[in-house]
């Protein structure tokens, strides 16, 4: 669904109707004429499935066709029923990851939750409080006060094989998880009511993370797959493209929103973008390009060890990297 967001931006900057036409065909393949979602499982609770709500609202806003809003409402209602931890955080997936919150899930669910609330329920303080709670929980359990970075997630019940017995936190900082979180903050802050007290907290979460990312950017312009200091440069670790694209985008978006100082962050963003183009965009003989260097997955269904993360293979043209590169490209083009 992030790739589709990239197509929204490509259309915005070029006006080329072929981008919009292809994108809409993908959405219309799953949104039926009555607004139901093809093969939607009302009994499956996975935050990964909720990101599509943003794409549905895009087409509702663009066309005014109620089927897209109806489809988005299905996802919004699913959020109301979604299982939660004892403190109110959304489980990443039921029943597979009970009581676990991952940085990934914030991007998948809460950006849409905020967009729906802004569009149709803006005066619902309870909803805004609930969205803020998701970020507050993540911050309380995964943010390192020493480095400013966030580990991949936490288990509130502290029973997962990787969970710290005291905090429940995962052991390592995986770059793409942090990237999803950084991107989500850049999406929700512009939507947030000016008078809601959580707005200041969210901006603080974003800017302090930006500070940490600025410090951990490699001299090449990119960021390491596993960002913990003891693993930087270690055997098996590498500069990974999806996380690097996300952080580059976040810097550029933060500058545009006025959250980050241009003089402090633009040079790093430009260096990051140059690396993305020079290292990970590979031109082919037929004139097309490949996107390289994106790790296929990183999951807390593992033991969350360093050895696990570096064992996952890289993929060519992985949407989770190509999409954020499109986001970063749009910000460069429009800055």
Q: How far apart are CA 271 and CA 284, in angstroms?
A: 24
Average pLDDT value for residue range 105-126: 98
* Portion of the chain with pLDDT greater than 90, in percent: 100
Using the predicted structure, report yes or no on whether residue 1 has a pLDDT greater than 90: no
Q: How far apart are CA 205 and CA 207, in angstroms?
A: 6
Average pLDDT value for residue range 226-230: 98
Options 3.40.50.720, 2.102.10.10, 1.50.10.10, 3.40.50.1820; which CATH number does 83-334 get? Answer: 1.50.10.10
* Helix spans in 143-282 (H): 175-188, 198-216, 241-257, 262-275
Q: How far apart are CA 262 and CA 302, in angstroms?
A: 39
End-to-end CA distance of the chain: 24
Q: How far apart are CA 233 and CA 134, in angstroms?
A: 33
Q: How far apart are CA 58 and CA 149, in angstroms?
A: 32
Model confidence over 229-250: pLDDT tens digits? Answer: 999 999 999 999 999 999 999 9
Model confidence over 268-286: pLDDT tens digits? Answer: 999 999 999 999 999 999 9
Using the predicted structure, report yes or no on whether residue 84 has a pLDDT greater than 90: yes
Model confidence over 279-329: pLDDT tens digits? Answer: 999 999 999 999 999 999 999 999 999 999 999 999 999 999 999 999 999
Every domain of the chain and the residues it spans: 1-82, 83-334
Q: Which candidate, 94, 185, 192, places its Cα nearest to that of 135? A: 185
* Rg (alpha carbons) of the chain, rounded to whole number: 19
Interacting residues of 138 by C-beta distance below 8 A, sequence separation 6+:
89, 101, 103, 106, 150, 154, 181
Average pLDDT value for residue range 158-169: 98
Q: How far apart are CA 75 and CA 167, in angstroms?
A: 31
Q: How far apart are CA 236 and CA 226, in angstroms?
A: 10
pLDDT of 215? 98
Q: Which candidate, 55, 48, 44, places its Cα nearest to that of 6? A: 55
Using the predicted structure, report yes or no on whether residue 200 has a pLDDT greater than 90: yes
Using the predicted structure, report yes or no on whether residue 184 has a pLDDT greater than 90: yes
Q: How far apart are CA 251 and CA 68, in angstroms?
A: 32
Q: What is the mean pLDDT of the chain?
A: 98
pLDDT of 206? 99
Asked if 121 and 73 touch (Cβ cutoff 8 Å), the reply is no
Average pLDDT value for residue range 244-264: 98
Average pLDDT value for residue range 1-20: 96
Would you place residue 170 in the very low, low, confident or very high pLDDT band (cuts 50, 70, 90)? very high
């Amino acid at each position: 669904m992030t790739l589709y967001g990239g197509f929204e931006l490509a259309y915005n900057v070029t006006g080329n109707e072929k981008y919009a036409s292809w994108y809409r065909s993908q959405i219309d393949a799953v949104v039926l004429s009555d607004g139901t979602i093809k093969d939607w499982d009302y009994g499956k609770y996975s935050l990964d499935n909720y990101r599509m709500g943003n794409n549905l609202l895009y087409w509702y806003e663009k066309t005014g066709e109620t089927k897209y809003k109806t489809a988005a409402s299905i996802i919004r209602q699913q959020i109301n029923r979604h299982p939660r931890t004892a403190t109110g955080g959304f489980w990443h997936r039921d029943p597979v990851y009970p009581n676990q919150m991952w940085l990934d899930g914030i991007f998948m669910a809460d950006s849409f939750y905020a967009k729906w609330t802004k569009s149709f329920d803006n005066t619902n303080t309870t909803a805004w409080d609930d969205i803020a709670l998701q970020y507050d929980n993540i911050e309380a359990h995964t943010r390192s006060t020493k480095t400013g970075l966030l580990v991949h997630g936490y288990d509130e019940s502290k029973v997962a094989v990787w969970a710290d017995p005291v905090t429940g936190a995962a052991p390592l900082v995986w770059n793409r998880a942090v990237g999803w979180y950084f991107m989500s903050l850049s999406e929700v802050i512009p939507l947030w009511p000016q008078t809601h007290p959580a707005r200041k907290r969210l901006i603080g979460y974003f800017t302090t993370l930006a500070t940490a990312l600025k410090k951990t950017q490699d001299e090449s312009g990119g960021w390491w797959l596993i960002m913990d200091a003891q693993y930087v440069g270690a055997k098996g670790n590498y500069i990974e493209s999806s996380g690097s694209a996300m952080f580059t985008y976040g810097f550029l978006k933060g500058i545009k929103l006025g959250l980050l100082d241009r003089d402090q962050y633009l040079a790093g963003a430009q260096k990051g973008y140059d690396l993305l183009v020079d290292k990970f965009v590979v031109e082919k003989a037929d004139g097309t390009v490949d996107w390289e260097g994106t790790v296929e997955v990183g999951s807390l269904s593992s033991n969350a060890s360093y050895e696990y993360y570096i064992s996952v293979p890289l993929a060519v043209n992985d949407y989770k990297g190509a999409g954020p590169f499109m986001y970063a490209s749009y910000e460069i083009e429009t800055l």
